[in-house]
Amino acid sequence: MPSKVFFGSAHQARLEARETLPAKLDLILDQLHIRDRVSKETVVIKMHTGNNMVYSTIHPVFVRRVVQAVKDGGGKPFVVDVSWDAAGAETRGYSSEVLGCPVYSAAGPDEKYFYEHERPYKNIKSWKVAGLIQDSTFMINFAHVKGHPSCGFGGAFKNLALGCMAGKTRGAMHDAMHYDPYWFPEKCTDPAILKQITDACPFEAVVEDKEQPGNLHLHMEQCNQCGRCLRVAPTGSLFISPVNFHSFQEACAIAVDIVLSTFEPGKATHLSLATHMTPVCDCFGFTSMPILPDAGVFGSDDIVALDKATLDVIAPTRLIEENIPTSLEVHTREGHPFQWLHGPLKDPYKVTEYGEKLGIGSRDYELVDVLPVEKVERSSLTYIAAS
CB-nearer residue toward ligand SF4: 54 or 205: 205
CA–CA separation, 217 and 204 (whole Å): 10
The answer to whether 201 contacts ligand SF4 (rule: CB under 6 A) is yes
The answer to whether 162 contacts ligand SF4 (rule: CB under 6 A) is no
Minimum distance, C-beta of residue 184 to ligand SF4, in the bound complex (Å): 15
Among 139, 206, 216, 253, binds ligand SF4 (CB under 6 A): 206
Within 128-147, which residues bind ligand SF4 (CB under 6 A)?
none
The answer to whether 47 contacts ligand SF4 (rule: CB under 6 A) is no
The answer to whether 325 contacts ligand SF4 (rule: CB under 6 A) is no
The answer to whether 88 contacts ligand SF4 (rule: CB under 6 A) is no
CB-nearer residue toward ligand SF4: 143 or 206: 206
Answer for the pair 183, 215: CB distance below 8 angstroms, yes or no: yes
Among 200, 315, 320, 358, binds ligand SF4 (CB under 6 A): 200
Minimum distance, C-beta of residue 127 to ligand SF4, in the bound complex (Å): 29
Minimum distance, C-beta of residue 312 to ligand SF4, in the bound complex (Å): 28
- Sequence-distant (6+) residues with CB within 8 A of 53 are 92, 285, 286, 287
The answer to whether 150 contacts ligand SF4 (rule: CB under 6 A) is no
CA–CA separation, 251 and 169 (whole Å): 10
Minimum distance, C-beta of residue 155 to ligand SF4, in the bound complex (Å): 24
Within 223-252, which residues bind ligand SF4 (CB under 6 A)?
223-229, 240
Alpha helices by DSSP H, 38-155? 60-72, 83-86, 96-99, 131-135
CB-nearer residue toward ligand SF4: 87 or 200: 200
CB-nearer residue toward ligand SF4: 42 or 241: 241
CB-nearer residue toward ligand SF4: 78 or 248: 248
The one-letter amino acid at 55: Y
Minimum distance, C-beta of residue 37 to ligand SF4, in the bound complex (Å): 46
Minimum distance, C-beta of residue 322 to ligand SF4, in the bound complex (Å): 22
Minimum distance, C-beta of residue 326 to ligand SF4, in the bound complex (Å): 16
Torsion sign over Cα 358, 359, 363, 368: negative
Stretch that binds ligand SF4, among 184-192, 221-229, 271-279, 348-356 (CB under 6 A): 221-229
Query: Pairing between strand 268-274 and 152-154?
Result: unpaired
Compute CA distances 205 → 201, 242, 278, 281, whole Å: 7, 16, 21, 18
Minimum distance, C-beta of residue 314 to ligand SF4, in the bound complex (Å): 24
Alpha helices by DSSP H, 16-59? 21-31, 34-37
CB-nearer residue toward ligand SF4: 38 or 240: 240
Number of chain positions touching ligand SF4 (CB under 6 A) = 14
The residues that bridge with 105 in the sheet, in sequence order, are: 81
Compute CA distances 98 → 88, 93, 188, whole Å: 14, 7, 58
Stretch that binds ligand SF4, among 115-123, 164-172, 176-184, 201-209 (CB under 6 A): 201-209
The residues that bridge with 207 in the sheet, in sequence order, are: 217
CA–CA separation, 60 and 190 (whole Å): 56
Provide DSSP, 149-164.
TTTEEESHHHHHHTTT
CA–CA separation, 90 and 294 (whole Å): 25
Stretch that binds ligand SF4, among 60-68, 172-180, 216-224, 346-354 (CB under 6 A): 216-224
CA–CA separation, 252 and 307 (whole Å): 13
Backbone φ, ψ for residue 290 (5° rounding): -65, 140
The binding site for ligand SF4 (CB under 6 A) comprises 200-201, 203, 205-206, 218, 223-229, 240
